[in-house]
Amino acid sequence: MTATVGAAASRIFEVLDIDTAASLGSGSLPVLGTPRLLAWLEAATVSAVEPMLEPGQTTVGIRVELDHLAPSPLAVHVTVRVTLVEVVDRRLGFDVSATNADGIVAARGRIVRAVVDRERFLAR
C-alpha cells in the first residue's frame, strides 16, 4: 500500500431520528449522537484510503480523539471531512472534522487506522 499524505474525503449526512443521542442511548436529547458522528467520520477515513489498498488489505480503527463541540439537531445536514496527515509504517493518522450546514464546527479530532491483511486479522 502506498498511502499519500493529503488524501482526503468528505461526505454529507442528514441527521435523522435514528442518529440522535436519544435513539442511540448516548443521551436523552434529539440531536446527533456522538456514536453516530464517530461512525460517519470513520466511514470517511475508509473512503479516503480504500483506493490505495492492495488486494486483501483493509484498515481497522485503533485510536480516536474526538471533541464533539456543538449540537446538530434533526434534519440538519452535516459535512464530515477527513485528511490523511501522517503515515508511519502501517498506521494512518487523519485529522477529522464535522460542520453543520450553517458553518458551525460540530466536531474535530483525530482518527488513527492501521492497514492489516484481512485474512490474517480475521484468523486472530
Q: Which fold has domain 8-122?
A: Thiol Ester Dehydrase; Chain A (3.10.129)
Q: How many residues belong to the chain? A: 124
How far is residue 4's CA from residue 49's CA, in Å, rounded to a whole number?
Answer: 9
Residue 81: band (very low, low, confident or very high) from pLDDT cuts 50, 70, 90: very high
- In this prediction, what percent of the chain has a pLDDT beyond 90? 97
Q: Does the pLDDT at position 18 exceed 90? A: yes
Confidence (pLDDT) at 77: 98
Q: Are 34 and 20 in contact (CB under 8 A)?
A: no
pTM recorded for the entire structure: 0.96
Confidence (pLDDT) at 93: 99
Domain extent listing, the chain: 8-122
pLDDT digits (tens, 9 = 90+) for 40-77: 999 999 999 999 999 999 999 999 999 999 999 999 99
